[in-house]
Amino acid sequence: MSEKYIERVDPAKSKEPDVDNDTDGDSNSTAEASPTPKEDAPADFDKAIEAAGFGIFNLLLLFVSIPAQSAAIFESSSMSFILPVAECDLRLTLEDKGVLNAVAYAGMTISAIAWGYLADTKGRKKILYWGYLIDAVCVFGSALSQNFMMLVVFKFLGGLVVNGPAAVLFTYLTEMHGPKHRSSVLMIVGMVTSTATVSLPLLAWGIFPRDWDFEIVGLTIHSWQIFLFVLGIPSLVSGLIFCAMPESPRFLMAQGRTEEALQAFQHIYHVNTRKPKDTYPIKVLVQEAPNRKANQDEVIYTIEEKTGEKVPQKPQSRTLMESLRAGFGQMKPLAHKPLLSLSLLLYIMQFSIFLGMNTIRLWLPQLFASMAEYEAEFSGATASMCTILEFSVNKTAETALDYANACSEPKEISMDMYINNIIVSACGFVGYFFAGGLLKALGPKRLMTYGLYLSGAFGMVLYFSVSSMMTLFVSATFLTITGIAVSSLLGAVVALFPTQLRTVVVAIAMMCGRFGALSGNLLFPVFIQIGCLPPFIMVSSVLLLAGTLSIFVPNPAKAAFS
- How many beta carbons lie within 10 A of that of residue 530, not counting itself? 9
- Report pLDDT for 344: 87
Least Cα distance to 480 among 306, 364, 369 occurs for 364
Write the pLDDT tens digit of every residue in 51-68.
888 888 888 888 888 899
| Contact in structure between 98 and 522 (CB atoms under 8 Å) | yes
Q: CA 546, 195, 75, 220: dihedral to nearest 10 degrees? A: 140
- Report pLDDT for 411: 66
Please check the confidence at residue 290 and state whether its pLDDT lies above 60.
Answer: no
Q: Per-residue pLDDT averaged across 348-372, rounded?
A: 87
Q: Per-residue pLDDT averaged across 398-409, rounded?
A: 68
Rounded to an integer, what distance in angstroms lies between the CA atom of residue 21 and that of residue 28? 9
Q: Per-residue pLDDT averaged across 14-36, rounded?
A: 39
- Report pLDDT for 309: 39
Band (558; pLDDT cuts 50, 70, 90): low
On whether the pTM is more than 0.95, the answer is: no
15-29, 400-414, 440-454: which has the minimum mean pLDDT? 15-29
Write the pLDDT tens digit of every residue in 141-162.
999 988 899 999 999 999 889 8
Containing H/E element for 215?
strand 214-216
Q: What is the mean pLDDT of the chain?
A: 77
95-99, 112-116, 274-278: which has the minimum mean pLDDT? 112-116
Write the pLDDT tens digit of every residue in 225-260.
999 999 999 999 999 999 888 888 888 888 788 888
210 phi/psi in degrees, rounded to 5:
-75, 145
User: What DSSP character marks residue 113?
Assistant: H
Least Cα distance to 98 among 139, 155, 57, 59 occurs for 155
Write down the CATH superfamily of domain 56-245+335-558.
MFS general substrate transporter like domains (1.20.1250.20)
Q: Per-residue pLDDT averaged across 408-421, rounded?
A: 73
- Report pLDDT for 172: 87
- Enumerate residues 6+ apart whose C-beta is below 8 A from 141: 154, 157
Q: Which residue has the higher pLDDT, 160 or 333?
A: 160
Domain ranges in the chain are: 56-245+335-558
| Contact in structure between 244 and 281 (CB atoms under 8 Å) | no
Give whole-number Cα distances, 13 to 18, 31, 172, 206, in Å.
Answer: 11, 7, 33, 64
Q: Per-residue pLDDT averaged across 411-433, rounded?
A: 78
Please check the confidence at residue 40 and state whether its pLDDT lies above 70.
Answer: no
Q: Per-residue pLDDT averaged across 87-92, rounded?
A: 82
Write the pLDDT tens digit of every residue in 260-277.
888 888 989 888 888 888
Please check the confidence at residue 493 and state whether its pLDDT lies above 80.
Answer: no
| Contact in structure between 504 and 494 (CB atoms under 8 Å) | no
- Report pLDDT for 538: 93
Q: State percent of the chain over pLDDT 70.
A: 78
The string over 284-318, giving b where at least 16 C-beta atoms fall within 10 Å of a residue's C-beta and e elsewhere, is bbbbbbeebebbeeeebbbbeebeeeeeeeeeeee
In 66-197 the beta strands, taken as DSSP E runs, fall at none
- Report pLDDT for 325: 62
Band (429; pLDDT cuts 50, 70, 90): confident
Rounded to an integer, what distance in angstroms lies between the CA atom of residue 68 and that of residue 72? 7
Q: Per-residue pLDDT averaged across 312-320, rounded?
A: 45
- How many beta carbons lie within 10 A of that of residue 442, not counting itself? 15
Please check the confidence at residue 35 and state whether its pLDDT lies above 70.
Answer: no
Least Cα distance to 165 among 40, 251, 41, 68 occurs for 68
- Report pLDDT for 101: 86
Rounded to an integer, what distance in angstroms lies between the CA atom of residue 191 and that of residue 484? 9
Out of 260-269, 302-311, 539-548, the most confident range is 539-548
Q: Per-residue pLDDT averaged across 455-472, rounded?
A: 89
Please check the confidence at residue 99 and state whether its pLDDT lies above 50.
Answer: yes
Please check the confidence at residue 6 and state whether its pLDDT lies above 50.
Answer: no
Band (336; pLDDT cuts 50, 70, 90): low
- Report pLDDT for 22: 43
**Per 3-state DSSP, what percentage of the chain is helix, strand, and coil (rounded to 5)?**
70, 0, 25
Q: State percent of the chain over pLDDT 90.
A: 15
Write the pLDDT tens digit of every residue in 176-233.
887 777 767 767 777 787 788 888 888 988 888 887 888 888 888 888 899 999 999 9
- Enumerate residues 6+ apart whose C-beta is below 8 A from 200: 73, 74, 77, 78, 81, 421, 425
